[in-house]
C-alpha cells in the first residue's frame, strides 16, 4: 500500500489556485488562417464565416487583431459547433492572389461569407468586441418571418421588396433552398413564409414563391422554376431583390466604388420619378447585356451638387445622365435623347472603346467628320472623376463609425 502524501499549506493553496484557474478560464479559439490550399474547403463548409483581410504593417490591422480574437471567443461559446460560425483571416501580403480574388482595396477589410458565397456588403460597423459579436448574432438570426395568418400580408410594408414562400412543410427541400437564398439576400428583400393549413389557399398548384414589388398597385410575380434548384431560385429572387438601377448615396458610395465598375448615373430631382422610370426602362431595354461591365445608378441632384458642378451642371439642369469612369466624367447629350433607340447603348460602348476619352482630348474621331472636312486636334480636358473621391483612403474616416484603413500601395 502506498503511503499517503500530505501537502504543506502553501502547496495546497497553490494547487487549489491552479485548479480554480483551469476550471474558470474561458476557452480560447485559434483564428483560422486561410491560404490557397484551405480557403475553399473552410468557407464552403461554414454556415457563416467572418474573414479579416489584413496586412501586418498596417497599424489599423494590428489594432483589430485582439478585438477580432476576443469576439471569436465570445461567439464560439454561443455557437460551439465547428462549422456554425468561423472567424478567419487572410494575410494579404502573403496571399495577394486571394486579396485580388475578393477585390480587397484596403486593410483591414471584414467580409462575410455564407456557405462559401461572399456577401456583397462588407462589415462597416464599429470595431469593438460587442459590435462584432452582435453582428454575428444578427447574421445567425432567422432571415424568414413566419406568417401565422394570411391576413398579415395586408399589413406588409409595400415600400419594400417582399418575397413570400408558401410551403406544405417546413422540413422540406423546397423550404431549405428558400431559407438558404433568404440568408444571402435578406438585406435586399423581406422574406416571409407560411406553412401547412395557413399556406393551403395559396398552394393550389403546390409549393410556390411569389414576389411582391414595391407599390400597392404593382402586380405579383410567381417563380415558375424548380424550387429545389438553388441556382435557379437564387437567380430569380436576386433579379427581383437587387434592382438593375440602384440609388447611390453617401452611405453606400464607398461600397459601390469598391465594385470597380464605372458608373452610368442619372442625376434627377427626388420628386422626378418620371425621368427615373424612363431611365430604368431604357437601361433594361438597351443595356441589360452590360450589367457586369458598368453600374447603373441614380442620384439625388440636391444631395450630389458637387459632382454636377464637375460637369458644369446644377440641379436646375436635371435630369442629367453622365458616366464616371473613375478617371473622368462624360456627359450624355439631351436627356430626351435616351429615348432614341440605341443612343444610350452607344454612349456606354464609346466608353469601353475609348472613344469618349479620345474625343475629349483630341476632338471627334475621323469617322465622325464629314468628307472633305479638315480634322483638327482639339485639346481639351474632361472633368476629373468625382465619385473616385468616395473610394477608400487612409487619410480620411471611411465610415460613420469612425474607423480608418491602410491602402495596399501605402508603405507604413
For residue 106, count other CB atoms closer than 10 A to its CB.
24
Q: What's the confidence (pLDDT) of residue 24?
A: 43
- Asked if 32-140 and 246-366+375-390 have one fold, the answer is yes
pLDDT digits 0-9 by tens, 45-88:
999 999 999 999 999 999 999 999 999 999 999 999 888 999 99
Indicate the pTM of the whole model: 0.69
14-18, 234-238, 306-310, 407-411: which range is least confident on average? 14-18
Q: What's the confidence (pLDDT) of residue 251?
A: 82
Mean pLDDT of the chain, nearest integer: 85
pLDDT digits 0-9 by tens, 11-37:
555 554 444 444 444 445 679 999 999
What CATH class does 246-366+375-390 carry? Answer: alpha beta
Domain boundaries, the chain: 32-140, 144-241, 246-366+375-390
Q: What's the confidence (pLDDT) of residue 11?
A: 55
pLDDT digits 0-9 by tens, 312-348:
999 999 999 999 998 889 999 999 999 999 999 999 9
Task: Decide which of 404 and 271 is more confident.
Answer: 271
pLDDT digits 0-9 by tens, 218-228:
899 999 999 99
d(CA 354, CA 144) in angstroms, rounded, equals 46
pLDDT digits 0-9 by tens, 115-152:
898 987 889 889 999 999 999 999 999 999 999 999 99
Contact 71, 79 (CB under 8 A): no
Q: What's the confidence (pLDDT) of residue 86?
A: 95
Output the nine-digit C-alpha cell for 61: 490591422
Section 176-191 average pLDDT: 93
Section 284-301 average pLDDT: 92
Cis peptide bond N-terminal to 108, omega within 30: yes
Collapse the DSSP code of 365 into the 3-class scheme (helix H, G, I; strand E, B; otherwise coil) and give the result: coil
Give, in order, the Cα–Cα distances in Å from 361 to each of 46, 48, 313, 385.
51, 49, 20, 15
User: Does the domain made of 32-140 have the CATH classification 3.40.640.10?
Assistant: no
Q: State the fold for domain 144-241.
A: Glutaredoxin (3.40.30)
Long-range contacts, 37-44 (Cβ 8 Å, 24+): 39/90, 39/98, 40/116, 42/86, 42/88, 43/86, 43/88, 43/113, 43/115, 43/116, 44/115, 44/116
Residue 407: band (very low, low, confident or very high) from pLDDT cuts 50, 70, 90: confident
Q: What's the confidence (pLDDT) of residue 20?
A: 44
Residue 371: band (very low, low, confident or very high) from pLDDT cuts 50, 70, 90: low
Q: What's the confidence (pLDDT) of residue 361?
A: 61
Given a cut of 90, whether residue 358 has pLDDT beyond it is no
Amino acid at each position: 500500500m502506498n503511503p499517503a502524501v500530505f501537502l504543506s499549506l502553501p502547496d495546497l493553496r497553490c494547487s487549489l489556485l491552479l485548479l480554480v484557474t483551469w476550471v474558470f478560464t474561458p476557452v480560447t479559439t485559434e483564428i483560422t488562417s486561410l491560404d490557397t490550399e484551405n480557403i475553399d474547403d473552410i468557407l464552403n463548409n461554414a454556415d457563416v464565416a467572418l474573414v479579416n483581410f489584413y496586412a501586418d504593417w498596417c497599424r489599423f490591422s494590428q489594432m483589430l487583431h485582439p478585438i477580432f480574437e476576443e469576439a471569436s471567443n465570445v461567439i464560439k461559446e454561443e455557437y460551439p459547433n465547428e462549422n456554425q460560425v468561423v472567424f478567419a483571416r487572410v494575410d494579404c501580403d502573403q496571399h495577394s492572389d486571394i486579396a485580388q480574388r475578393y477585390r480587397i482595396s484596403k486593410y483591414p477589410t471584414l467580409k462575410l461569407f455564407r456557405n462559401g458565397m461572399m456577401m456583397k456588403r462588407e462589415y462597416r460597423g464599429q470595431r469593438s468586441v460587442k459590435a462584432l459579436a452582435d453582428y454575428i448574432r444578427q447574421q445567425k438570426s432567422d432571415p424568414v418571418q413566419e406568417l401565422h395568418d394570411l391576413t398579415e400580408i395586408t399589413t406588409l410594408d409595400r415600400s419594400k421588396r417582399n418575397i413570400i414562400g408558401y410551403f406544405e412543410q417546413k422540413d422540406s427541400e423546397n423550404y431549405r433552398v428558400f431559407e438558404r437564398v433568404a440568408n444571402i439576400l435578406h438585406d435586399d428583400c423581406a422574406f416571409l413564409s407560411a406553412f401547412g393549413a395557413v399556406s393551403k389557399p395559396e398552394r393550389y398548384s403546390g409549393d410556390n414563391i411569389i414576389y411582391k414589388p414595391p407599390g400597392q398597385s404593382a402586380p405579383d410575380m410567381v417563380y415558375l422554376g424548380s424550387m429545389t434548384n438553388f441556382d435557379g431560385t437564387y437567380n430569380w429572387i436576386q433579379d427581383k431583390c437587387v434592382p438593375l438601377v440602384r440609388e447611390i448615396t453617401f452611405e453606400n458610395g464607398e461600397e459601390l466604388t469598391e465594385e470597380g465598375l464605372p458608373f452610368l448615373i442619372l442625376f434627377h430631382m427626388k420628386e422626378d420619378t418620371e425621368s427615373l422610370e424612363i431611365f430604368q426602362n431604357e437601361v433594361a431595354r438597351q443595356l441589360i447585356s452590360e450589367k457586369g461591365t458598368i453600374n447603373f445608378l441614380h442620384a439625388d441632384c440636391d444631395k450630389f451638387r458637387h459632382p454636377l458642378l464637375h460637369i458644369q451642371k446644377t440641379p436646375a439642369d436635371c435630369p442629367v445622365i453622365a458616366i464616371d469612369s473613375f478617371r473622368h466624367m462624360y456627359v450624355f447629350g439631351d436627356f430626351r435623347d435616351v429615348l432614341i433607340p440605341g443612343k444610350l447603348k452607344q454612349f456606354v460602348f464609346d466608353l469601353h472603346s475609348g472613344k469618349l476619352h479620345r474625343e475629349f482630348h483630341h476632338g471627334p474621331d475621323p469617322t465622325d467628320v464629314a468628307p472633305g472636312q479638315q480634322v483638327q486636334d482639339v485639346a481639351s480636358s474632361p472633368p476629373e472623376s468625382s465619385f473616385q473621391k468616395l473610394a477608400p483612403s487612409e487619410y480620411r474616416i471611411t465610415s460613420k463609425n469612425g474607423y480608418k484603413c491602410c491602402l495596399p500601395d501605402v508603405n507604413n
